Amino acid sequence: MLSRFKQTELWLPGISVDCVIFGFHEDQLKVLLLKFQNTRVWSLAGGFVGVDEDVDQAAARVLLERTGLSDIYLEQFYTFGDLARNDRAAEEHRGVNAAMGSLDNDLSWMAKRYITIGYYALVDYSKVMVNPGEFSDAAEWVDIVAMPHLFLDHNKIVNKALEALRLSLDEKLVAFNLLGETFTMSDIQMVYETILGKKLVRTNFQRKMLSLDILERIEKKFTGGAHKAPYLYRLKS
């Protein structure tokens, strides 16, 4: 099953990509993990780079092959190139290999040093369908605060991706992908608080959002009740 990866003329040597797919819904932030077939080894959706594709194309293809997800904007965030990152590869691969032994006994090509290029994306996990690909027998959205031990340095990759996601909230406006066309200030604040993992002061948050000059206030939300209805906003085009 892994035999196409032995055709070394098809792949760049020593390079891989790993995708950290953050899933948000209501006030939950999760990460998409895959379990190698017949093992208890959980990992990110990763793979190799073809000799004839851009690294960005490889990331999109790998994500599709391993999870069924497509048309998702992947943001490159960091490249992991420590010598030691593969230290446990042989051992961990042996674990995988033992379980998959009948299928493929030679995983030595996989235990070499790899530099991996990390990508992240943020999706509403209630709106996407995940299909584990040929290497996995399970795919699961796992809460960011309850991550199991992952393959190799994948826990470190998740942490670095979370850091990058948090840093880019204001600059790249990724959070707005999760909201509908119109939203209240509370809707935005809830997304920010979940991703940042902390409560924010309402007045400060509102002032900061408005100072970014990206929002357009459109109308009063109609509620019919006695309370003051919140304003609705949309992103300026």
Instruction: Give alpha helix (H) positions in 112-177.
Output: 154-172
**Residue 197 near its own copies by CB under 8 A:** no
Return the number of the residue (83 or 129) whose C-beta is nearest its own copies.
83
Is position 55 an interface residue for its own copies (rule: CB under 8 A)? yes
- Which residue's structure tokens are 């493929």? 104
Residues contacting its own copies: total by CB under 8 A: 24
For residues 173 and 235, the answer to whether their CB atoms sit within 8 Å is yes
With contacts defined by CB under 8 A, name the span among 50-58, 101-109, 133-141, 192-200 that binds its own copies: 50-58
39, two tokens? 């093992």
- Residue of 9, 71, 171, 181 interacting with its own copies (CB under 8 A): 171
Closest-CA residue to 176 (of 133, 118, 215): 215
- Under rule CB under 8 A, residue 8 binds its own copies: no
CB of 203 to its own copies, least distance (A): 13
Our finding on whether 133 is near its own copies (CB under 8 A) is no
Residue in 1, 10, 51, 210 binding its own copies, rule: CB under 8 A:
51
Asked whether the beta carbons of 78 and 160 are under 8 A apart, the reply is yes
- Indicate whether 5 belongs to the interface with its own copies (CB under 8 A): no
Structure tokens at 182: 């119109």
- Phi/psi at 20 (5° precision): -100, 105
117 beta partners: 17, 79
Compare residues 10 and 51 and give the one whose CB is closer to its own copies: 51
Nearer to its own copies, 38 or 76 (CB): 76
Q: Does 117 bind its own copies (CB under 8 A)?
A: yes
Q: Which CB sits closer to its own copies, 33 or 161?
A: 161
- Write down the number of H helices and E strands in the chain: 5, 9
159 is a site residue for its own copies (CB under 8 A): no
Residue choice 28, 82, 103, 131 for contact with its own copies (CB under 8 A): 82
Give the residue ranges of DSSP H helices in the chain.
Answer: 55-67, 89-99, 154-172, 185-196, 202-211
What's the min distance (Å) between Cβ of 51 and its own copies? Answer: 7
* Euclidean distance between CA atoms 115 and 17, whole angstroms: 8
